[in-house]
Structures are given as C-alpha cells and as structure tokens.
Amino acid sequence: MKIAKRVGQYFSYIVILFLALMVLLNIVAPKKIVSYVGFNWYRIVSGSMEPQIMTNDLIIVTKVSKFEDLKEKDVITFYARKNGKEISVTHRIRKIENEIIYTIGDNNGGTYDNWDRDIVFSDVIGKVSIVFPTHKIAFLFHPVFLVTIVVVIAGWIYVSYIITRKKKDVE
C-alpha cells in the first residue's frame, strides 16, 4: 500500500513538473516549444475553420520534420503576417507550389488567405493532430481556472505530504 501511495505521489509530482515546464516554455520561448517538446496546444480564437474546428476548441499541434511531410488538405498551424503583425493561424493547406504554402480557412468562402508575405516551411509550427471540442466547456481552459486547478492540486499534494510526515513523526 505504501508503495502504491509513493508511486501516486511521484506521478503527481511528474505531472505538475511537466505542466509547469510547458507553461514556462510557452512564456520564455513560445515559438520554439513544438521543436523542443514535439507538440503544443492552442486555443482557436476565430470561426475561420468552422464547422470542423470551432471557436474555443483546443487543438494539439505536432512537429513537422520536413517540408515533404506536408500535403494538400492538411490542417496546419503557422505564423503569418497580417497588417504588419505576426499571428499564429490554423488553416487548411489548399495547395503547395514552388515551396510556397497556400492556405484557406474552411469557413472563409473559398478564397485563399491573403497574408502580407508568402507562407513557407519555416513559418509552419506543425500539423493539427487532435481537436478537443472544448467550445462547449471553454471556461475550463480560461487561464484563471487552469491556475486555480494547478494551485489546488499542488495544495493537495502538499497537505498529503504534511499528513504523511506527521504520521511518521507519531510512529
């Protein structure tokens, strides 16, 4: 029983450490996280990919190692410039021509995206691998709620550690 408890505690520590590392990497090096870890999560902020990906859905984007891994109809997340500002965008590849990637939002009426510059492989963050339909429960992914959950879990681990220490002191 004690071994199972320790394994559970260590697992909790590892999960919290991993989540803290992901948050730290998102703050320190947001453009490099997919290349460091192999994936990242993003929240969709517009309706350009509806109905396949809804506003407030959570997506997991995985690393694309080489240009040849991209093909038409893949849904990718990439950096684009619009009105002089760099933004991350999740759209479908409409065509690839001379190493330029032409994208389109599924809900954008059939017109190609019009970015300030061409999209090339170095702009690609990764392919969308998983879509969590969180638009129905978007409040769960609000930063305040997520921080609250992390604090509650950390507090629970700390309290269980204190209780364990007190039991050992009594024995």
Structural domain boundaries in the chain: 1-30+140-164
CB atoms within 10 A of CB 22: 15
In what order do the strands lie in the sheet containing 85-97?
39-43, 58-62, 124-132, 75-82, 85-97, 100-104
Alpha-carbon distances of 20 from 7, 17, 93, 97, 150, rounded to whole Å? 20, 5, 33, 40, 9
* Torsion from C-alpha of 138, 144, 145, 151, nearest 10 degrees: 160
- In the structure, what pLDDT confidence band is assigned to residue 13 with cuts at 50, 70 and 90? confident
| Of residues 160 and 35, more confidently modeled | 160
- 90 pLDDT band, cuts 50/70/90, is very high
Residue 124 is predicted with a pLDDT of: 93
Residue 109 has which token pair? 């009426």
Cα gap 25→32, rounded to integer Å: 8
Tens of pLDDT, residues 24-54 = 777 777 777 777 778 888 889 899 999 999 9
Residue 88: its H or E element: strand 85-97
